[in-house]
Structure 1
Amino acid sequence: MKRLQSNSSSSSPSPLQKRPKRPPSPSSSNAASNFLHGRNIYILQAKLTPATIAELFALAEKGGATVVSNPEDAEVVVTAVGMRKRLERHLDWEVAKSKALVTPAWLRDSFAQGQALPCGSYAALSSLHDTTVANCPTDSDSEPEVAPAPSTAYSKSHTQKLDIENIPENLLPPRTFPKTDLAKLDHTARFSCARASPLTCLNQGLCNELDVMRRLRELEGEERSALSYRRAVASIKSYPRKLSLSDHAEIHRLPYIGAKIFKMVEEYLDTGKIGEVEAARKSERFTSLQLFASVYGIGPSTARDLYARGLRSVRDLEAFYEVEGPLEVGAVETDAGAQGVDMDIKIALGLRQELALPIPRVEVEMIHRVIMDELEVVQPGCVSTIVGGYRRGKTASNDVDIVFTHPDGTKTVGLCTKLVKRLHERGLVTHVMHLSSFHAHNALRTHHWDSLEKSLTVFRPPSPDATRRRVDLIFALPQTYWTAVVGWTGSTMFERDLRSAAKAQGMKFDSSGITRRHDSKVFYPRTEKEVFDIFGLPWIDPSLRNADA
């Protein structure tokens, strides 16, 4: 099958960093002319188009930086290369480790903010994240009080910014998030969506132990017990201090810490482990159920059924589902579930070694850019936001979730199928696990699977040695764009509590809309923050929505 050919140059840059003819310098009402004054920047031209190179030169010089021709003279290296082996073709590894190695988005977003932003979220290589942070030229006393949002809106080419004059302001991803006022948050609040839950908390080890119990109960079909552990984990995640054995009163004050879980917390604080968790980890049944349920398409009930049939290992699964190796590219089905659950499981089993590999942030961004380029061909003018764990700040993700829309809602309907077919034709989508179209928002629906247009795919990035990835494409109408972004950002417990908080206010929330329960009136929030405002909740930054272990 014909593969997508990259339109970017992979040739090495000239030693003299020869500058292409530049368009007029970008302008921004928020940009300061000397925010990079005194900084030396090296622009690694590999994998960049001439238009992008010209854009980056212009941004750097407009910000007052000096663009140097030798990377050793630079404080910051701007690069689109995201793999070490490829980077070493153009840049000595020892030099790379001594610089802030950032993606072009850092320069664009810094220019938009009028100051050099922290580099951590823009590290070009995940393996160089720490050295990039250490060598970042941001002055500690000038760091912004709000975190920069990822650049998520693209035009015909991802190397150019979207012409925002043609996009309603309420559909543009914010350049910065509102600041979460931590001092006003109550860590004993009833719902986790009203508490701050960082990606890694001060009591992370305890959360991880209790999450094993949550997983065990979930796999055994004990949903009420699993929810109790999930709530306890969320409660501890938001506790702002390190717990100790002397904190009896504080632990008792935490919501959802009952007598049994309290004893487990005490045991962990005293010994560093929990007996029931240790026993679970040694259990053949738990090990097998967890292994089975890690395969896409196999839920706890199916996992228990497979175990009852005598299956114990991956080889047993492969024999049962008659999988002898990676499946070849299949046809794109236009009806949801047309391939059947067993086919989804076969695909996941055949590709399990690839799909199990974590996806670094820089690769998530690359996949997003490639898809936006293809979508621009299918339907110009769309906007999008990367959601899921990436948006919550994870350094690596299990899959990639992207929410799309178009200002003209009529152009959004059916667009998911069109995009998936194009990606399949270009060799970028090899398998489709699920494909569904819009259906009417139902205020009486009790389950939380939304009514958006979506496709859950296996995506192969456009490079010879690319690893296949799980990529979920979600399309929302413009009026429900921000409910979709909130609903697909997660985490699982945060979203569950968001629905509960909405219910407490006489409302119903899911990714495809907000309705008032007594009369089914529909509300259309114009911003992400307005979703929280409607339910009377404090604003919680996406990086503080990690209410699961």
Structure 2
Amino acid sequence: MPFKRPAPLPSQSESQSSSSANLLSGSSKRPRLSPPPGKALPNVKLFIVQAKLNTSAISELFGLAEQHAKRLCNKPEDADVIVTAIGMRRRLERHIPWELAKHKAVVTPQWLRDSVKNGSSLPYDNYIAIQDLQDTIVQNCPECNCKPCACSPSSTSSYASSSLRHSQESLASATSATSPPTAIPAYLLPPSPPLETDITKLDYTSRYACQRASPLVCPNQALVHELDIIRQSRALEGEVRSALSYARAVSALKAYPHKITSMKQVEKLPYIGTKITGLVEEFIDGGHINEAETIRSSVRFQALSLFSSIYGIGPTTAQRLYDLGLRSLDELEVYYGVDSKTQTSIDSGIVEVEKESKRRHAKDEGDEGLGDTWIKIALGLREDLAIKIPRDEVEEMGRVVMRELDQLEHGCVSTIVGGYRRGKPESSDVDMVFTHPDASKIKGLCKRVVQRLHEGGMVSHVMHLSGFHAHNPLRTTHWDSLEKSLTVFILPPSSTFYRGTRRRLDLIFSPPELYWTAVVGWSGSIMFQRDLRQWAKDKHGMKFDSSGITRRYDSKVFFPKTEKEVFDLFELEWIDPTLRNADA
């Protein structure tokens, strides 16, 4: 959310709790609190719907509410008055359950502005936001509902009980993107409060990234960046073993907690061999690495990097295109016959590009393997797909998808994984893992929600759409057996974050017993997951990926009930996702 407000002061919470207790008990003698001087709405609790409000309006309204209202609520069910710029019932229902809205005063932002100017709460009838609520809102007058009074004890008590009941019903029907239904088992919800990582029990000299704390930005980030340029070059040239060696060295340096100023500091670090030791020493002496600078200025490196930035083009295809004499994206468009100005509109609609078998085979060869069809589409969308996604927009995408999913199958839960979960301020794409307490309701849900999003104008292309298949403990690839869809997504125009920009969105559906395994597997980073798999194999004789944990000698499958249980099963210390950034 764009604006996050601190929790109420203890004194406020206590007074509100006391007031609520009196209201629910039906007592006709309710205390009339003395309002703080200067407050125009001293007895009114507000909730502000941010949809359709720009940043300046949100800032203004939040400021007025905090200064003049009794409390600015985080949840609509806690408020007396809901302020919104939405004028249509169906759009409001995306943010507020209709049954709850019928028992609140739902008014336009101008009511708040005018009430502040007036110095007291104005009647609602001139500020009704949704015309369908006119009859119920007029009944909710400021004198009888927005502040305690003794005009009708029985009716007030009845209203309070009804309001609480409807509030509970709305909570039970809300998606987990807002507040989870009571029917959802506790083990499918994240721990509250979040688990803490005991850094003292981790070892930055370990050969496994899953035993090291790797922050998003480390004290040696500049050195890491230089070495990663060399790693990228090796990967683009298809030198897989060399690229892995640099990736391991980068991973070890990411976890070192001090600024490296002498070679003695790196002596005990794993994966720092003779070649990389020389590069580290060169960086300590001069602040840069000559080989990295040479690579950066190389026309070949620039072209291969440019080509591989197009989703669907991996190292093998990039090298082939370079060998054909192509050097720029403009030349790439000519080669594939793409007109970037018209391609988006021409190719709108669900386009399923490649079957899973082809993708798996191609991934083994180190390429994306999505074929010429998708490359043409990706070229047409490249300007949009190249724009990073800020965290607040990632969260909005999650809310939108969960609202649509809830219309198909109530009670689902989800976790946004990938770089967002590891704390990145911006993401290249968004990955979401979903499940439902009832395993029978998950099967086929991926295709249904993709179809619904497409019909709502929110999904334009699908690069990959797969169903569940049996977990195979002998499988050698890491493309898991979960139901998933890799899509191109666009927020609806009703969203405050709508810019018309296409985004990459991956939807992964897991049975409830595999949910936390999937969350761990899709959270990354690449080296953290690689070493977690290696640790499971080396230390416990197990096979791990996001679709299951299997003991190798008898194929017994394990089902961790929480994310921490995954770590416990492998006898590893808990590491928060924000400390799993073992890549550059």
Fold shared by both chains (TM-score > 0.5): yes
Aligned counterpart for 2:445 among listed residues 415, 422, 435: 415
Counterpart-to-counterpart distance in 2, 1:308 and 1:332: 30
1:44-103 Cα shifts (integer Å, max 9, x gaps): xxxxxxxxxxxxxxxxxxxxx99x9799x9xxx9976599x921245469989x99xxxx
User: What is the aligned residue count?
Assistant: 436
1:465 deviates by 2.9
Contact 2:176 2:412 in 1 (8 A): no
1:252 deviates by 1.4
1:322 deviates by 1.3
1:537 deviates by 1.2
1:157 deviates by 5.3
**2:269 pairs with 1:269:** no
Question: Residue 368 of structure 1: SS of its match in structure 2?
Answer: helix
The residue that corresponds to 2:201 in the other structure is: 184
**2:418 pairs with 1:388:** yes
1:192-229 Cα shifts (integer Å, max 9, x gaps): 01100000001111111111111000000001100000
Identity %: 55
Aligned counterpart for 1:465 among listed residues 499, 514, 529: 499
The residue that corresponds to 2:333 in the other structure is: 318
Opposite residue 270 of structure 2, the aligned amino acid is P
Most deviating of 327-336 and 339-348: 327-336
The residue that corresponds to 2:243 in the other structure is: 226
List aligned pairs for 1:144-223, cutoff 5 A.
Answer: 155-156=173-174, 160-164=178-182, 166-223=183-240
1:267-323 Cα shifts (integer Å, max 9, x gaps): 111111100000000100000001111111101111111111111100111111111
The residue that corresponds to 1:288 in the other structure is: 303
List aligned pairs for 1:61-460, cutoff 5 A.
Answer: 81=50, 86-91=54-59, 107=74, 155-156=173-174, 160-164=178-182, 166-245=183-262, 248-325=263-340, 326-328=343-345, 329-333=348-352, 336=355, 341-460=371-490
The residue that corresponds to 1:491 in the other structure is: 525
Counterpart-to-counterpart distance in 1, 2:304 and 2:230: 13
Counterpart-to-counterpart distance in 2, 1:36 and 1:436: 53
Opposite residue 525 of structure 1, the aligned amino acid is P
1:172 deviates by 1.4
1:330 deviates by 2.2
Return closer, same or farther for 1:415/1:154 CA change in 2, 3 Å cut-off.
Answer: farther
1:466 deviates by 2.8
Question: Residue 273 of structure 1: SS of its match in structure 2?
Answer: coil
Counterpart-to-counterpart distance in 2, 1:540 and 1:453: 27
Counterpart-to-counterpart distance in 1, 2:186 and 2:213: 28
Return closer, same or farther for 1:70/1:237 CA change in 2, 3 Å cut-off.
Answer: farther
The residue that corresponds to 1:48 in the other structure is: none
Structure with bigger gyration radius: 2
1:491-540 Cα shifts (integer Å, max 9, x gaps): 01101111101111200000000000001000000100111111111111
1:167 deviates by 1.2
TM-score by length of 2: 0.70
Counterpart-to-counterpart distance in 1, 2:47 and 2:188: 28
Aligned counterpart for 1:526 among listed residues 543, 557, 561: 561
Question: Residue 327 of structure 1: SS of its match in structure 2?
Answer: helix
Structure 2, unpaired ranges of 5+: 1-6, 15-34, 79-170, 359-368
Counterpart-to-counterpart distance in 2, 1:484 and 1:344: 27
Counterpart-to-counterpart distance in 1, 2:189 and 2:62: 39
1:448 deviates by 0.8
TM-score by length of 1: 0.74
Opposite residue 428 of structure 1, the aligned amino acid is M
Counterpart-to-counterpart distance in 2, 1:483 and 1:498: 12
What's the RMSD between the two structures over aligned residues?
A: 3.2
Return closer, same or farther for 1:159/1:541 CA change in 2, 3 Å cut-off.
Answer: closer
Counterpart-to-counterpart distance in 1, 2:295 and 2:501: 33
Question: Residue 180 of structure 1: SS of its match in structure 2?
Answer: coil
Counterpart-to-counterpart distance in 2, 1:296 and 1:413: 28
Opposite residue 87 of structure 1, the aligned amino acid is T
